[in-house]
Amino acid sequence: MGNSTTASSTKDSWFALEIDRDFYLNTYGEGKPRLYFNPDSYVVIQSAVYDSNDNVLTVTDAKGDSHILSTEPDHAMFKDSIYKDWVDFDNRTFCKGSDMEDRCDYEPWMFNSLQSLAYELNAYDEFKGTIYFGKPAKI
């Protein structure tokens, strides 16, 4: 990848998650969105620049590498991997009807669109729509 002046090529499949608690490792998230190009590894996003004319988001990760995102997030890859794992975890870990106070903290929330991720990263103020995939919260 290189340093912060070098950008990786655009990837077709990606998704970004808001993680409060990581159910795989039973740890807290980093406080910044995670960017996945496959379900097995991620980078932590530190900053972003959004080009609204071309709908391109360039993010810089914690190592200083840049990643250019010009497609929408891959909802199916998220649902078929990390979200599916979370559902299995939730069903195994918590009894039905449990009112455990922090149960929902473990659910990974995927950013619904490239623009919603740009909004979260303070790179796009004009966003209107649903922030998280499958969630009703709107801006």
What are 27-66's pLDDT values in tens digits?
Answer: 888 999 999 999 999 999 999 999 999 999 999 999 999 9
Domain spans in the chain, listed from the N-terminal domain onward: 7-120
Q: Which amino acid is located at 9 in the chain? A: S
Cα 2 to chain centroid distance, Å, stands at 22
Instruction: Determine the straight-line distance between the first and last CA of the chain, rounded to whole angstroms.
Output: 34
Q: Give the position of tokens 């932590």.
A: 44
Reported as a pLDDT band with limits 50, 70 and 90, residue 13 is very high
| SS3 category, 35 | strand
Give the gyration radius of the chain's Cα atoms: 15
Query: Nearest 5°: CA angle at 126, between 43 and 115?
Result: 30
Structure tokens at 4: 């912060």
What are 70-98's pLDDT values in tens digits?
Answer: 999 999 999 999 999 988 888 877 655 55
Structure tokens at 105: 């903290």
